[in-house]
């Protein structure tokens, strides 16, 4: 699982298959939530933020501060979000979020632990699968330091269906 905030507006726009205008509105939604200190943990939080932005007074205020938000764009994002929810996407967002440190544990004798992410159902949703993998790879790149050549690898990552990326 990952939180909506961790996924970010760019990957989430890709997941929802939004156009450029809708992606821009989603970027505003994420920025406004961040500026207000509101966490976007799951799809319900994102839906609530979209509903907040759709209220006439809030649309006017957000448009003045961040750029034009049209009710049509919000409605399109809400419909795409509904499709994601109906496809079971809500089970991939929320807390507890995936902790990358869990992938780098060692047993009592110092040997690494093998982790298998079963994606047999996830692979049936190619856009969700590829977006999740892109998020996971970006998290690894962002959080793991460059260490050069090690005697023992810190993490080995294999995945099937790479062509979906």
Which is more confident, 118 or 72?
A: 72
Same domain, 108 and 73: no
Residue 35 pLDDT > 90: yes
pLDDT tier for residue 165 given thresholds of 50, 70 and 90 = low
Last residue of one domain, picked from the residues 30, 63, 92 = 92
**How does pLDDT run across 60-105, given as a tens digit for each residue?**
999 999 999 999 999 999 999 999 999 888 888 998 888 888 888 8
Return the ∠ at Cα 24 (arms to 23 and 26), rounded to 5°: 65
Over range 99-122, report the average pLDDT: 84
Same domain, 9 and 88: yes
Q: pLDDT at position 119, please?
A: 78
Q: Which DSSP letter does residue 100 get? A: G
CA–CA distance, 134 with 123 (Å, rounded to integer)? 14
Residue 49's domain spans which residues? 4-92
Least confident of 6-10, 37-41, 43-47, 92-96: 92-96
Same domain, 139 and 72: no
Same domain, 87 and 153: no
For the chain, the domain total comes to 2
Same domain, 44 and 71: yes
Q: pLDDT at position 162, please?
A: 66
Last residue of one domain, picked from the residues 51, 74, 92 = 92
Its pTM stands at: 0.82
Q: Which DSSP letter does residue 154 get? A: S
| Nearest alpha-carbon partner for 61 in 22, 23, 35 | 35
């Amino acid at each position: 699982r990952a939180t909506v905030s961790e996924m970010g507006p760019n990957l989430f726009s890709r997941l929802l298959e939004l156009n450029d205008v809708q992606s821009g509105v989603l970027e505003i939604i994420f920025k406004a939530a961040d500026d207000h200190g509101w966490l976007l943990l799951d799809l319900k939080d994102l839906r609530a933020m979209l509903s907040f932005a759709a209220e006439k007074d809030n649309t006017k205020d957000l448009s003045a501060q961040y750029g034009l938000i049209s009710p049509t764009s919000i409605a399109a994002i809400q419909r795409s979000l509904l499709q994601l929810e109906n496809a079971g996407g809500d089970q991939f967002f929320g807390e507890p979020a995936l902790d990358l440190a869990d992938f780098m544990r060692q047993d009592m004798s110092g040997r690494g632990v093998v982790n298998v992410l079963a994606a047999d159902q996830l692979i049936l949703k190619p856009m969700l699968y590829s977006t999740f993998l892109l998020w996971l790879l970006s998290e690894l790149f962002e959080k793991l330091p460059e260490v050069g050549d090690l005697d023992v690898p810190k993490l080995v990552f294999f995945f099937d269906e790479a062509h979906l990326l």
